[in-house]
């Protein structure tokens, strides 16, 4: 080993002699970490805030499962990152300086979406009842003589 590339590095109070020509950075992730997901969609790249939900330790293909928020519609989606899709998505830890999505803000968006869908459902029920009361009234009387 060449002594020119060796250097003493201190990490968390422990001094280590390392060969900097072969040293590489290793990111450490754990379940619950807030991450930024870079995902390819239709040949374009998008960054999404997310959180690591689990590590699936499959023998043939270890996988990191990331729940992320699509900030266009505030839907929750899951990305499975492994060796097979490493060119389609990647993750990094979100730094403390970056804006994180707030829990309350996401819950507010979900409540708003639920309220909108509830209104649509009630409207459809009303339209169905109106149709049955007003449009099928005569048909039911005519069809009542049928055996089925």
Residue 50 CB neighbours (<10 A): 24
3-state secondary structure of 130: helix
By C-alpha distance, which of 81, 83, 48, 44 is closest to 65? Answer: 81
* Residues 26/11, Cβ–Cβ less than 8 Å: no
At 51, which CATH number?
2.30.30
For 103, half-sphere exposure in the C-beta direction (CA atoms, 13 angstrom radius) is: 2
Shared domain check, 78 and 116: no
DSSP 3-state assignment of 146? coil
What are the average pLDDT values for consecutive 10-residue runs of the chain, which has 148 residues?
68 72 76 87 87 88 89 83 82 76 74 91 94 73 55
Residue 16 lies in a domain: no
Read off the pTM: 0.59
Do 30 and 89 fall into the same domain? yes
**Shared-domain flag, residues 109 and 86:** no
Containing structural domain, residue 37: 26-93
Q: Residue 58 falls within a domain, yes or no?
A: yes
Determine the Cα–Cα distance for residues 117 and 125; give it in Å rounded to an integer.
Answer: 12
Q: Is 25 helix (H, G, I), strand (E, B) or coil?
A: coil
Residue 15 lies in a domain: no
pLDDT tens per residue across span 24-55 = 767 788 888 888 889 888 888 888 888 888 99
């Amino acid at each position: 080993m060449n002594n020119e590339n060796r250097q003493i590095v201190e990490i968390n109070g422990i001094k280590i002699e390392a060969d900097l020509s072969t040293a590489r950075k290793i990111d450490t992730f754990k379940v619950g970490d807030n991450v930024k997901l870079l995902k390819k969609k239709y040949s374009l790249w998008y960054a999404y805030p997310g959180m690591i939900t689990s590590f699936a330790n499959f023998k043939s293909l270890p996988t990191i499962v990331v729940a992320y928020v699509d900030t266009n519609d505030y839907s929750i989606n899951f990305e499975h990152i492994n060796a097979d899709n490493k060119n389609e998505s990647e993750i990094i830890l979100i730094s403390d300086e970056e804006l994180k999505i707030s829990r309350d803000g996401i819950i507010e968006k979900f409540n708003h979406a639920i309220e909108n869908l509830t209104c649509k459902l009630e409207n459809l029920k009303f339209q169905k009842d109106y149709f049955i009361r007003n449009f099928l009234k005569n048909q039911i009387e005519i069809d009542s003589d049928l055996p089925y």
